[in-house]
Amino acid sequence: MNVQVEQKIAFSILFLCTLLVVVPVLIILVIIFVKGAGALNLGFLFEMPTNGMTEGGIFPAILGTLYLVLGALFFAVPLGVLSAIYLVEYSQETVLSRIVKLAIVNLAGVPSVVYGLFGLGIFVLFLGFGASILSGSLTLGIMILPVIITSSREALESVPQSFRIVSLSLGASKWQTIRHSVLPHALPGILTGTILGIGRAAGETAPILFTVAAFYLPKLPQSMFDQTMALPYHLYVISTQVPGIPETIRYGTALVLLLLVLIMNLAAIILRYQFRRRKKW
Amino acid sequence: MVIIRIKGTVMIETLQKFSPAIVSHKMDLKLEAKTVNAFFGKTQALQNVSLSIEKNHVVAIIGPSGCGKSTFLRCLNRMHEVAGGTMNGTILLDGKDIHENDPVNLRRRVGMVFQKANPFPTMSIFDNVAAGLRLNGMAHNGHIAEIVERSLQQAALWNEVKDSLSKNGMSISGGQQQRLCIARALAVNPEVLLMDEPASALDPIPTAKIEELIYELKKDYTIIIVTHNMQQAARVSDETAFFYLGEIIEFDNTKKIFTAPSIKQTEDYVTGRFG
Ligand SMILES: Nc1ncnc2c1ncn2[C@@H]1O[C@H](COP(=O)(O)OP(=O)(O)OP(=O)(O)O)[C@@H](O)[C@H]1O
Ligand SMILES: [Mg+2]
């Protein structure tokens, strides 16, 4: 009897803790949905803000985030995937390769505001790109690099060694082996990491704060050397810096950002699930 | 089954009739290993292995587990270096040192079949056979379908799979998968075929099929087969090499190895007194 009571208590505590994890997420989601859903319409998504951002849409912020995410991917995906290929397929277990791997793990733990300062120092000031889409993309790119390298490495490592051995024994070169017998099987995993990277790049404020984000711009950016508005920073601005912004606009903006990140994460989860299920080895 | 048995007997008789004659002829050497030493880091897996293999012969390699049989095979197509090992000594293919050339070229000429059937699990039967051609860019010559059919026929698998070429390579039986792997190795048109216990995971009937196949393939290829099965070695090979602790103890005509070996260790091993 005693044992059973003990078990019940332990179980209840575990259950409560689990519930406590889920509850805030649900509350946040519900509040933002309820308060923001009213603002959601095509006009809100595709129009410029008007009247000191108290009316109109958030198109420039959405477009800016899109530019920044694409820019970040443009830098981070090739670099990340190629260095993962190097680490997994070419490098021996040397001190150097271990240091590189350690650096990547640590890079993932660096606070995002540090990336922002780094971007400010290197891209904005030292390289003279100024506060621009280019600087912001590069900064975000470096921030998501560890995510992409780590997931690409895992994806490559999960491809069975026998694929490589058979391929080489058939007279394929090392590169042909990687290109045709390894990469195709690692692709879903690499894609998953990329999507997670998109979610992270779209949502962070600190890295773009000093490197690209504009408070308010009357027109859309014309080149990659222009500043741009972006969703997370725009949300910060209209929530704390400008008085008198209607609540629906604020929550609507939050909802758009949240949906963007959630959809990305969901896509990554589905992809990973499909990959695991289809895997035949 | 009966037919296969009869063929097996005929095969051994033919072999016994002709092998001594062939050996006494002028030797046409396909592969020669001269004082090969192979290492994994500091541990030595092969010691002073020398072996000459004649063209269109089948050589069986026997010996207890861990004696270096697979390592020796991997030295012959330079997969030993892929496995992380090093070697010294000389290996000649048609009289030319295999280390003087690109391993990629060598491996097209010296194909390999592995112990465990390992078709590419995401590919169809057809694509599995064509894999080698596509991988090393031989695909553009437009004869893929022809080559696939020819290879499957050589591997005695064509009749069983010709209507299901688009089915997954893993959807067929273990014995068929192993013959698929043989077809895959044959498709790139090698001259030598290395087989590392190709039938060890198979039941008697598919094993007999593979043995029959080896006998057929011998006309066009030089074959080196590692096996744990003494009867198999006796049935399929012209010469047999007995490896022990990384050294060749005895290498001779198969009949001699199994009936009158000159070294006591060999006799003990083939009669099952150790191993
Ligand atoms: N990748 C490896 N790394 C280190 N040592 C290895 C490796 N592969 C084999 N060895 C060692 O080399 C020796 C020879 O191994 P090998 O696989 O050639 O033996 P084998 O005769 O094929 O044995 P089996 O009949 O069990 O397949 C063994 O002592 C083994 O432990
Ligand atoms: Mg072995």
Domain span at residue A106 reads: 59-277
**What is the end-to-end Cα distance of chain B in Å, rounded?**
30
Structure tokens at B35: 């004082």
Judge: A168–B184 Cβ closer than 8 Å, yes or no: no
Mean pLDDT (whole number) for A76-99: 91
Is residue A191 classed as helix, strand or coil in its secondary structure? helix
pLDDT of residue A241: 86
Of the partner residues B79, B137, B184, the one whose CB lies closest to the CB of residue A168: B79
- pLDDT one-digit tens code per residue, A135-186: 999 999 999 999 999 999 999 999 999 999 999 999 999 998 999 889 988 9
pLDDT at B14 over 90: no
pLDDT of residue B255: 93
Judge: A180–B135 Cβ closer than 8 Å, yes or no: yes
pLDDT of residue B141: 63
- pLDDT one-digit tens code per residue, B122-160: 889 999 999 988 887 766 666 888 899 999 988 889 999
Question: For residue A30, is it within any domain?
Answer: no
Q: Which of A170, A174, A181 to mutate to test the interface with B (most CBs of B within 10 A)?
A: A170
pLDDT level of residue B4 (50, 70, 90 thresholds): very low
Chain B positions in Cβ-Cβ contact with residue A184 (cut-off 8 Å): 122
Question: For residue A21, is it within any domain?
Answer: no
pLDDT exceeding 90 applies to what percent of chain B? 61
- pLDDT one-digit tens code per residue, A204-216: 999 999 999 888 8
pLDDT of residue B125: 94
Q: Which of B179, B118, B113 is nearest to B151 (CA)?
A: B179
pLDDT of residue B9: 43
Specify the residue for token string 């021996």: A92
pLDDT of residue B6: 41
The CATH number for A246's domain is 1.10.3720.10
Domain count, chain A: 1
pLDDT of residue B24: 44
Mean pLDDT (whole number) for A77-97: 91
Count contacts between A and B (CB, < 8 Å): 64
Judge: A169–B122 Cβ closer than 8 Å, yes or no: no
pLDDT of residue A269: 85
CB-count burial class (<10 Å; 0-12, 13-18, 19+) for A91: middle
pLDDT of residue A281: 61
pLDDT of residue B15: 46
Q: Indicate whether residue B65 lines ligand 1 (CB < 6 A).
A: yes
Q: Indicate whether residue B70 lines ligand 1 (CB < 6 A).
A: yes
Average pLDDT, whole number, for chain A?
89
pLDDT at A246 over 80: yes
pLDDT at B12 over 60: no
The CA distances from residue A214 to A128, A132, A191, A197, B34, in Å, are 18, 9, 31, 23, 74
Residue B195 neighbours by CB under 8 Å, 6+ apart:
B112, B113, B182, B214, B223, B224, B225, B226
Backbone angles phi, psi at B92, to 5 degrees: -110, 135
Judge: A185–B137 Cβ closer than 8 Å, yes or no: no
Question: For residue A38, is it within any domain?
Answer: no
Question: For residue A125, is it within any domain?
Answer: yes
Average pLDDT, whole number, for chain B?
86
Question: For residue A51, is it within any domain?
Answer: no
Q: Bigger pLDDT: A227 or B11? A: A227
pLDDT of residue B209: 84
Mean pLDDT (whole number) for B80-101: 92
B227 Cα to the center of ligand 2, angstroms: 9
Question: For residue A267, is it within any domain?
Answer: yes
- pLDDT one-digit tens code per residue, B25-64: 456 889 999 999 999 999 999 999 999 999 999 999 999 9
Of the partner residues A164, A168, A184, the one whose CB lies closest to the CB of residue B107: A168
pLDDT at A54 over 80: no
Tell me the DSSP string of B30-44. EEEEEEEEEEETTEE
How far is it, in rounded angstroms, from Cα A211 to Cα A207? 7
Question: For residue A37, is it within any domain?
Answer: no
Question: For residue A17, is it within any domain?
Answer: no
pLDDT at B90 over 80: yes
pLDDT at B71 over 60: yes
Backbone angles phi, psi at A261, to 5 degrees: -70, -40
Q: Bigger pLDDT: B18 or A92? A: A92
pLDDT of residue A216: 85
